[in-house]
Amino acid sequence: MSPRFRLSSILRARKAQEDAAKGGVARARAEAGAADRQVEAKEAELQGRMIIPDPSDAAAFVAAMAARRAVAGELSLKIQKAEEAARRVGASVDTWSAASQRRRMVDKLAERHQAALRQADAAADQRAVDDLPLDRRRTDRENDR
C-alpha cells in the first residue's frame, strides 16, 4: 500500500475552501453588526425627533412632521438592509457548513488511509516476528552442516 495519501491535494483544497467560507461568515457578521448599529442610530434619531412643536405654528409643525417622516423612511431602509445582512449571514453560515462537510468527508478518507497504513505496518511487523523462529532454525541447521 502506498504511504502517500492520493487525495491530500484535495484535502488541502477543501480546507482552503472551508477557511474562505469561514472568512465569509466573519465578514457577513461584521456587516450585519454594522447594519444593526445603523438601525439603532436611526431609531435614536427618530426618538429625538419625537418633540412635537407648538401646533399654533403650522409651518414649524409641518416641517417637524416632514423631518420625522424622512427619518422614519431612512429607518425603514436601514431595517431592510439589516434584515438583508442577516440573511447573508445565514447563507454564509450554510456555505461554511457545506464546505466543512466536504472537508470532513475527505478527512475521514485520510484517517482511514492512515489506519490502513498502521494496520499494514502492524501486519508486516507481526510477519517479521513470526518468521524469526524459522530463520533461527534455518541458520542453526546450516551451521550444523
Give 18-70 pLDDT, tens digit per residue: 999 999 999 999 999 999 999 999 999 888 877 776 767 778 778 888 888 88
Which comes out higher in pLDDT, residue 129 or 142? Answer: 129
pLDDT digits (tens, 9 = 90+) for 85-139: 999 999 999 999 999 999 999 999 999 999 999 999 999 888 888 777 766 666 6
99 close to 23: Cβ distance less than 8 angstroms: no
**Through-space distance between the first and last CA atoms of the chain, rounded to whole angstroms:** 40
Q: What is the pTM of this model?
A: 0.67
99 close to 18: Cβ distance less than 8 angstroms: yes
What pLDDT score does 136 carry?
A: 61
What pLDDT score does 2 carry?
A: 59
